[in-house]
């Protein structure tokens, strides 16, 4: 009995020694520009239709990623399934009606309805016009349950108009009418509303109708020109308005794709390497290919998985298990990673770190320092764990000597990059993270022109190798990463 025990201990010691002395260089070479390009032209090809969450294009992309994980010998990460499904709901506009003093108007030709409205029929006998610069005058205004008209379309950014819109919502208005100049429309607007993961809401926002100047004149009468030019005015108009919205709710599913490479002596501890494979789909007949965002991350985690699978086949696999997580729903609000971290396949308390890749194939044209062909933005390595930066910088210095740019670690970063990709859902649950990013917020960001031909594949491969080397160190070190820094608090959540 004792001899057997000694033999087991001896083999275990030799095994641990072999793990420590295994070299990653030969396996890093698996991550090649040629293979990355080949895969990206598939993931960001026309057949994938922009990979919008809960669409056929997204399902095709998920099937492709699953087939790649299977071919590499990865095990399914959701019990016996490679895909982790979650429900998605979307409102679809059936019809809408708008009448002013008994005069009816046509949907699309004269007005449109925001995709986020709710089914309702509302009748008002008064409209409150609010100028775009009247925000100070709104402080004491009682607008709860009323319909308000504003000049200009409802904004998406943080403009002065955006301040008005936010203020009106805070006042509890029932409906907002915004005036636009692009009527009559010749192309029907989309009937699809925003997607959501829940059928239930904490609160109901205001109905939003966008109308032609002709409708605005029928409401304001002879005072239209004066009200439009005097942007500080607030004035009520006695007008009978009927606003009606009819919708149906569609149900669908989306999924994360999870492949696992089991570890050896520390197989019950985990390292998660993630990227999101969804993008924006098709709009007005244009495909949003999402080559950099985040086709680049998606194919990189496949290549990194291939490198680790080869090491394992050679008897030099990682000590910890590695979870390769391809998320959907990131563009909708980090849905897939939120679902995974709320329903983890593997315990988060046993997850040493999350290395997240979101856009590593392009360069940042606004970056005026250093070598534009030898850098990557490293985000979050100064948070949650004091182990992160020392590992990251040590690996880089030894293997690649890239410029690690910490610009987006600045708490005053106006883009709030730390809070805007899938790593954040791991971080807010205490898992140390590093986020790798190229900084491409301008140029082709969220446009149909984000295509595979614009990727710098040599630079992309080098960045992916940095993730691989870092993962190799984290998966094979003796201890899990410390969790010894408090979680930062976001000031704004921007997608």
CATH number of the domain enclosing 235: 3.50.30.30
Cis peptide before 184 (omega within 30 of 0): yes
Instruction: Report the distance separating Cα 130 and Cα 164, nearest Å.
Output: 9
Q: How confident is the model at residue 2 (pLDDT cuts 50, 70, 90)?
A: very low
Residues in the chain: 495
Same domain for 82 and 132?
no
Instruction: Report the distance separating Cα 79 and Cα 402, nearest Å.
Output: 38
Domain membership flag for residue 400? yes
Q: What is the count of structural domains for the chain?
A: 2
Distance of CA 229 to the CA centre of its chain: 39
Which three-class secondary structure state does DSSP give residue 123? strand
- Percentages helix, strand, coil for the chain (3-state, rounded to 5) are 35, 25, 40
Pair 464, 438: CB distance under 8 Å: no
CATH code for the domain in which residue 333 is found: 3.40.630.10
Same domain for 103 and 118?
yes
Q: How confident is the model at residue 365 (pLDDT cuts 50, 70, 90)?
A: very high
pLDDT digits (tens, 9 = 90+) for 194-205: 788 988 887 788
Q: What is the mean pLDDT of residues 365-374?
A: 95
Which three-class secondary structure state does DSSP give residue 378? strand
Highest mean pLDDT among 67-76, 84-93, 187-196: 67-76
Residue from 86, 110, 288, 116 nearest 192 by CA: 116
Domain membership flag for residue 32? yes
Same domain for 259 and 232?
no
pLDDT at 331 over 70: yes
Residue from 431, 433, 381, 432 nearest 404 by CA: 381
pLDDT at 133 over 80: no
Domain boundary among 202, 228, 250: 250
Residue from 40, 91, 81, 31 nearest 61 by CA: 40
Domain membership flag for residue 133? yes
Same domain for 299 and 228?
no
Instruction: Report the distance separating Cα 391 and Cα 369, nearest Å.
Output: 24
Cis peptide before 294 (omega within 30 of 0): yes
Contacts of residue 494, defined as CB under 8 A and 6 or more positions apart, other chains included, come to 415, 416, 419, 420
Same domain for 336 and 238?
no
Say which residue, 64 or 167, is predicted with more confidence: 64
Same domain for 147 and 178?
yes
Range in 59-63, 68-72, 102-106, 153-157 the model is least confident about: 153-157
pLDDT at 153: 57
In the chain, what percentage of residues exceed pLDDT 70? 92
pLDDT at 154: 55
Distances (CA, A) of 322 to 259, 329, 335, 418: 8, 22, 22, 23
Contacts of residue 43, defined as CB under 8 A and 6 or more positions apart, other chains included, come to 51, 61, 64, 277, 295, 298, 299
pLDDT at 10 over 80: no
Distances (CA, A) of 253 to 49, 54, 270, 277: 17, 6, 27, 15
Domain membership flag for residue 35? yes
**pTM (2 d.p.):** 0.84
Instruction: Report the distance separating Cα 354 and Cα 470, nearest Å.
Output: 11
pLDDT at 159 over 70: no
Q: What is the mean pLDDT of residues 261-289?
A: 97
Domain boundary among 181, 215, 250: 250
Residue from 82, 93, 99 nearest 118 by CA: 93
Domain membership flag for residue 282? yes
Run of H or E including 393: helix 387-399
Same domain for 123 and 204?
yes
Range of the domain at 237: 92-250
Domain membership flag for residue 409? yes
Residue from 288, 295, 280, 331 nearest 448 by CA: 288
Strand 351-357 and strand 266-276: the pairing is: parallel
Same domain for 118 and 225?
yes
Pair 405, 378: CB distance under 8 Å: yes
Domain membership flag for residue 296? yes
Contacts of residue 352, defined as CB under 8 A and 6 or more positions apart, other chains included, come to 269, 270, 271, 320, 432, 474, 475, 480, 481
Same domain for 67 and 81?
yes
Average of per-residue pLDDT values in the chain: 90
Same domain for 463 and 422?
yes
Instruction: Report the distance separating Cα 399 and Cα 322, nearest Å.
Output: 21
Same domain for 232 and 267?
no
Q: What is the mean pLDDT of residues 153-169?
A: 60
Domain boundary among 234, 250, 266: 250
pLDDT at 195: 85
Same domain for 65 and 98?
no
pLDDT at 288 over 80: yes
- Hey, what's the torsion of the CAs at 157, 161, 165, 166, to 10 degrees? 60
Contacts of residue 127, defined as CB under 8 A and 6 or more positions apart, other chains included, come to 147, 148, 149, 177, 219, 236, 237, 239, 241
Burial class of 359 by CB neighbour count within 10 A (0 to 12, 13 to 18, 19+): buried
Domain membership flag for residue 490? no
- Crossing angle, helix 387-399 and helix 457-476, to 10 degrees? 130
């Amino acid at each position: 009995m004792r001899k057997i025990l000694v033999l087991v201990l001896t083999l275990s010691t030799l095994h641990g020694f072999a793990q420590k002395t295994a070299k990653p260089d030969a396996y890093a070479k698996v991550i090649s520009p040629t293979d990355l390009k080949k895969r990206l032209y598939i993931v960001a090809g026309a057949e994938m239709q922009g990979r919008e969450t809960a669409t056929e294009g997204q399902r095709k992309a998920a099937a492709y990623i699953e087939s790649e994980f299977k071919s590499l010998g990865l095990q399914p990460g959701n019990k016996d399934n490679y895909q982790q499904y979650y429900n998605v709901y979307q409102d679809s506009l059936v019809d809408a009606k708008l009448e002013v003093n008994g005069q009816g108007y046509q949907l699309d030709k004269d007005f449109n309805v925001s995709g986020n409205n709710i089914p309702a029929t509302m009748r008002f006998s008064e409209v409150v016009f609010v100028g775009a610069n009247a925000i100070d005058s709104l402080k004491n205004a009682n607008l709860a349950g009323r319909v308000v008209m504003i000049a200009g379309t409802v904004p998406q950014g943080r403009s002065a108009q955006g301040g008005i819109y936010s203020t009106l919502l805070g006042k509890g208005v029932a409906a907002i009418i915004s005036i636009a100049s692009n009527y009559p429309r010749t192309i029907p607007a989309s009937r699809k509303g925003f997607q959501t993961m829940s059928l239930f809401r904490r609160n109901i926002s205001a109905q939003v109708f966008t109308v032609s100047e002709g409708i605005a004149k029928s409401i304001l009468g002879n005072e239209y020109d004066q009200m439009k030019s005097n942007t500080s005015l607030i004035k009520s108009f006695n007008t009978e308005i009927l606003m009606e919205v009819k919708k149906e709710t569609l149900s669908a599913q989306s999924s994360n794709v999870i492949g696992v490479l089991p570890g050896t002596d520390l197989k019950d501890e985990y390292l998660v390497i993630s990227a999101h494979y969804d993008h924006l789909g098709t709009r007005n007949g244009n495909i949003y290919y999402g080559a950099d965002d985040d086709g680049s991350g998606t194919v990189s985690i496949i290549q990194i998985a291939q490198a680790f699978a080869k090491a394992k086949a050679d008897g030099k696999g990682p000590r910890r298990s590695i979870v390769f997580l391809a998320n959907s729903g990131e563009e909708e609000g980090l849905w897939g990673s939120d679902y995974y971290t709320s329903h983890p396949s593997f315990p988060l308390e046993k997850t040493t770190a999350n290395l997240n890749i979101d856009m590593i194939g392009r360069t940042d044209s606004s970056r005026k320092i250093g070598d534009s062909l030898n850098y990557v933005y490293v985000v979050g390595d100064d948070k949650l764990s004091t182990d992160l930066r020392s590992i990251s910088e040590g690996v880089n210095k030894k293997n690649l000597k890239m410029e690690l740019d910490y610009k987006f670690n600045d708490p005053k970063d106006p883009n709030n990059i730390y809070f805007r990709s899938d790593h954040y859902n791991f971080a807010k649950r205490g898992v140390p993270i590093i986020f790798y990013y190229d900084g491409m917020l301008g140029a082709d960001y969220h446009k149909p022109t984000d295509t595979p031909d614009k990727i710098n594949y040599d630079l992309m491969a080098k960045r992916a190798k940095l993730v691989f080397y870092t993962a190799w160190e984290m998966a094979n070190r003796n201890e899990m990463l410390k969790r010894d820094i408090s979680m930062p608090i976001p000031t704004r959540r921007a997608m």
